[in-house]
Amino acid sequence: MGANETGYIGQAVKRKEDARFLTGTGQYTDDVSLPRQTHAYFLRSPHAHAKIRGIDTTKAKQAPGVVAVYTGADLEGVNGLPCGWLITSVDGTPMNEPPHPVLAKGKVRYVGDAVAMVVAETRDQAKDAAEQIDVDYDVQPAVVNVVAALEPGAPQIHDEAPGNKCYTWSIGDKAATDAAFAKATHVTKLDLVNNRLIPNAIEPRAAVASYSAADEAYTLYVTSQNPHVERLLMTAFVLGLPEHKVRVIAPDVGGGFGSKIYLYPEETAMVWAAKRVGRPIKWAAERSESFLADAHGRDHVTHAELALDASAKFLALRVHTTAAMGAYLSTFASCIPTILYATLLAGQYTTPAIHCEVVAAFTNTAPVDAYRGAGRPEATYVVERIVHQAGVELGIPQDEIRRRNFIREFPYQTPVALVYDTGGYDATLDDANKAADVKGFAARKAEAAKRGKLRGLGYAAYIEACGIAPSNVAGALGARAGLFEAGEVRVHPTGSITVFTGSHSHGQGHETTFAQVVATRLGIPVENVDVVHGDTGRVLFGMGTYGSRSLAVGGTAIVKALDKIVAKGKKIAAHLLEAAETDIEFKDGRFTVAGTDRSKAFGEIALAAYVPHNYPLDKLEPGLNETAFYDPTNFTFPAGTHICEVEIDPDTGAVDVVKFTASDDFGNIINPMIVEGQVHGGLAQGIGQALLENCVYDADSGQLLTGSYMDYALPRADDLPSFRVSTQVTPCTHNPLGVKGCGEAGAIGAPAALMNAVHDALSAVGVNRFDMPASPHRVWQAIQSAKASA
């Protein structure tokens, strides 16, 4: 595909990375094998809550092939895993931050908590030996439900967190909110549960750790979305190693969805042990370990109230949320139900007063952290479910009640801290309305009724905040890390390019999208640009990929580096063309003296920079290699309208998603094919949450009941419809690409749209409140309960 006037921008360039993935020549962490490597296996707690009276590893150490066995007691001098965001409670105290030991010390707090690491010649030997470890558990009562964990008398999980509380946090003006409710003509109230999810990237977490005694250096291959952050946290906070002696490589990574952002116990213990064992150590999680010990998502219990005036304008929103943290604070756990949740409660609406209080608590479950959308799906679920309910109560059509409250003037300061730079909410709503053929819905519903089916339509007009920023603001809010991104553009002597980015691709297609940006800006073929990511030994620095930030933040860092390349190129060209630097123009890959036909191709400038025979060496360094760091001035605000149409069989409770329409505004789009793919995937996860997926722990024993694909319903091909997706564009105003991010939108809008459709359908049979997931037996039960109480 050739470059046109806008180069490759907006072109569905086929992905550069596909060739290796399609031929089985990708390199994922578990594909890495090092000479003399050993294999690790982690013994995990079978109990949700127990004191450890003692651990006897004698027999295990003597088992065939065993190289070493380590428990928490062996990890002397190793700190606990850190949490990257300090939330301050309403009373001014810092959140309770109990230790998160790499291997359990004295107590286990969830089923799957790592207790010991066995290192052996083979994986099977390590596994067999682990069975020989004798752990003397004193089993304690457990609590897995977040509301129950806060009740008086609940089992105490950490000494450092009385009442299991992590923090009580709030945002917004309570007095103004109360005052608005006092003058409301209508108040809609809603109780909601945002169900706990297990991320389930298809590639299980894995790591290969090695140590070179000669240069006292470590190398870690790991399934990570952000290898530099992983290294920083592991070296500086946990292991006390010099950062320059640890190289972290996240090669091809098979999906993340948030779950591979975090610093986990396994790879940390492996790096520590690699030096002691003196041989490389490899580990790959079995799927049952992924279910037990990957950080989970969501798990909120919320009460919300919306105040409206006589014309259905929203006056105020009041929200109280209880959020589960799980047994320990995972890397970014604390900021998800606060900074990334409550700040989005304005949605697309002009609601002038909002107050939200969040209580976060520990439970005897796997830690909870960011999962695709991270806080924003939860916020959208609250806003869009209560708007739906208000529309029902007031008899106002769902599109109309939204239109009456849309924000239309930008920039817009919300009452919950954010400033939306731009948006066009009518455009996406109108587009979705048309595409979903909302006008024809009544006829389809009537036709379905003739067949005995319940048909429903649901809207979600969502907004999200992406490319979290700026660092100083985040720092003031408790972030313990920066939120910039780094990029490097290395022009080779012959004019081909290697780009190094601190963002990480684990399915998003950066190798293609970023190459399109670079090729367009430099006016060269996209084949001449390769993108490197995921290696602290090659990439200067990086914050990684999460929160739909890669193009908006990582792409901008590359653009800034490109600007430097072009600026230096102009200096070189001015010298070669014997013209003033200010007279040099760069366009379509050529440096030209303005108003003349005298020019030099980009490749000629590159060669001159590396073979500087005719070169201004007195004024300019040779070479053409530039780096840039970019710290955004604001979040980006993708938004859109999703419309879901369902048909429910009241006899079986089966919900059929007959049509799903998404109209999104992601700002400018570099590669529409990749953007559509991102939306599809997000929708599948959002629909999965609303329709199928549900993480369940047994309330008494704390055992994970949904610990396999037989029990946890991951969407399969025949569970989902084909999607109808389209985009509208209002370019982001504060980054040079005008991009906003698209990775999470589907997962943010879909659950509310689907559940609104389910409620619309079930209203015909008297079901008023129904929580996710809308799986057949739950829907059927809700129908039966409604019948019984009718």
Specify the residue, 154 or 551, whose C-beta has the smaller distance to other proteins. Answer: 551
- Name the residue nearer to other proteins (CB basis): 28 or 349: 28
What's CA 579's distance to the chain center, in Å?
A: 50
Minimum distance of other proteins from residue 41's CB (angstroms): 13
User: Considering the complex, what minimum distance in angstroms separates the CB of residue 253 from other proteins?
Assistant: 7
Q: Which is nearer to other proteins, 456 or 681 (CB)?
A: 681
Residue 515 burial class via C-beta count within 10 angstroms: exposed 0-12, middle 13-18, buried 19 and up? buried
Task: Kindly give the residue spans of alpha helices, DSSP state H, lying in 300-424.
Answer: 376-394, 398-403
Nearer to other proteins, 196 or 445 (CB): 196
Three-state SS for 103-170 is CCCCEECCCCCEEEEEEECCHHHHHHHHCCCEEEEEECCCCCCHHHHCCCCCCCCCCCCHHHEEEEEE
Nearer to other proteins, 20 or 777 (CB): 20
Structure tokens of 760?
């619309």
Tokens of 584: 């040099």
Amino acid code (one letter) for 438: V
**Which residues have a Cβ under 8 Å from the Cβ of 68 and sit 6 or more positions away?**
61, 118, 119, 273, 276, 277
Integer CA distances (angstroms), 676 to 31, 294, 669, 682, 743, in order: 30, 28, 10, 10, 10
Q: Which two tokens stand for residue 216?
A: 């006292």
Minimum distance from residue 287 beta carbon to other proteins (Å): 4
The β-bridge relationship of strands 281-284 and 38-44 is: parallel
Name every residue whose Cβ is closer than 8 Å to that of residue 784 and which is 6 or more positions away in sequence. Answer: none
Q: Kind and range of the H or E element at 492?
A: none
Nearer residue to other proteins within complex by CB, 493 or 715: 715
Backbone angles phi, psi at 353, to 5 degrees: -130, 130
Distance of CA 575 to the CA centre of its chain: 48
Nearer to other proteins, 101 or 682 (CB): 682
- What residues make contact with other proteins under the rule CB under 8 A? 14-15, 17-28, 30-31, 33, 124, 200-204, 252-255, 257, 284, 286-288, 506-509, 673-674, 676-677, 680-685, 708-710, 714-718, 720, 722-723, 746
Compare residues 586 and 712 and give the one whose CB is closer to other proteins: 712
Q: Which is nearer to other proteins, 124 or 581 (CB)?
A: 124
Least distance (Å) between residue 537 CB and other proteins: 22
Q: How far is the CB of 21 from other proteins (least distance, A)?
A: 3
Q: Are 405 and 396 in contact (CB under 8 A)?
A: no
Residue (38 or 338) nearer to other proteins, CB: 38
Nearest distance in Å: CB 45, other proteins:
21
Min dist. Cβ of residue 259 to other proteins (A)? 10
CB of 247 to other proteins, least distance (A): 21
Residue 521 is classified by DSSP as H
Dist. CA 629–CA 627, nearest whole Å: 7
At closest approach, how far in Å is the CB of 677 from other proteins? 5
Q: What is the Cα–Cα distance from 692 to 200, expressed in whole angstroms? A: 14
Q: Which residues pair with 5 in a beta bridge?
A: none
**Nearest-approach distance from CB 719 to other proteins, in angstroms:** 8
CB of 689 to other proteins, least distance (A): 13
Q: Measured from the CB atom, is 476 or 710 closer to other proteins?
A: 710
Q: How far is CA 270 from CA 119, 263, 333, 452, in A?
A: 9, 12, 23, 59
Q: Which is nearer to other proteins, 530 or 719 (CB)?
A: 719
> Which of 29, 636 has the CB closer to other proteins?
29
Alpha helices by DSSP H, 309-437: 376-394, 398-403, 425-435
- Strand, coil or helix: what is 539? coil
Distance of CA 315 to the CA centre of its chain: 32
Helices (H), 577-667: 602-610
Query: Is the Cβ of residue 12 or residue 187 nearer to other proteins in the bound state?
Result: 12
| DSSP assignment letter at 527 | G
Nearer to other proteins, 25 or 413 (CB): 25
State the minimum distance, in angstroms, from the CB of residue 250 to other proteins.
12
Quick count: other Cβ atoms within 10 Å of Cβ 241?
A: 18
Distance CA 10, CA 12 (A): 7
Identify each DSSP E strand in 511-567 by its residue range: 529-533
- Give the neighbor-by-neighbor strand order of the sheet with 107-108: 107-108, 50-56, 134-139
E strands, 559-704, are: 584-587, 590-593, 599-601, 625-630, 639-648, 655-665
Q: Smaller CB distance to other proteins: residue 63 or 161?
A: 63
Burial 462-501 (b: 16+ CB within 10 A, else e): bbbbbbbbbbeebeebbbbbbbbbbbbbbbeeebbbbbbb
Say if residues 107 and 51 touch (Cβ distance below 8 Å).
yes
Shortest Cβ 26–other proteins spacing (Å): 5
Smallest separation (angstroms) from other proteins to the CB of 12 = 8
d(CA 623, CA 617): 11
Which burial class, exposed, middle or buried, applies to 151 when counting CB atoms under 10 A from its CB (0-12, 13-18, 19+)?
exposed
Nearest approach in angstroms of CB 663 to other proteins is: 16
CB 523, min distance to other proteins, A:
26
3-state DSSP helix/strand/coil % of the chain, to nearest 5: 30, 25, 45
Structure tokens at 552: 């908006």
| Residue number with CB closer to other proteins (558 or 683) | 683
**Nearest distance, CB of residue 506 and other proteins, angstroms:** 5
Q: Report the residue number, 157 or 201, with the smaller CB distance to other proteins.
A: 201
Least gap, CB of 695 to other proteins (angstroms)? 15
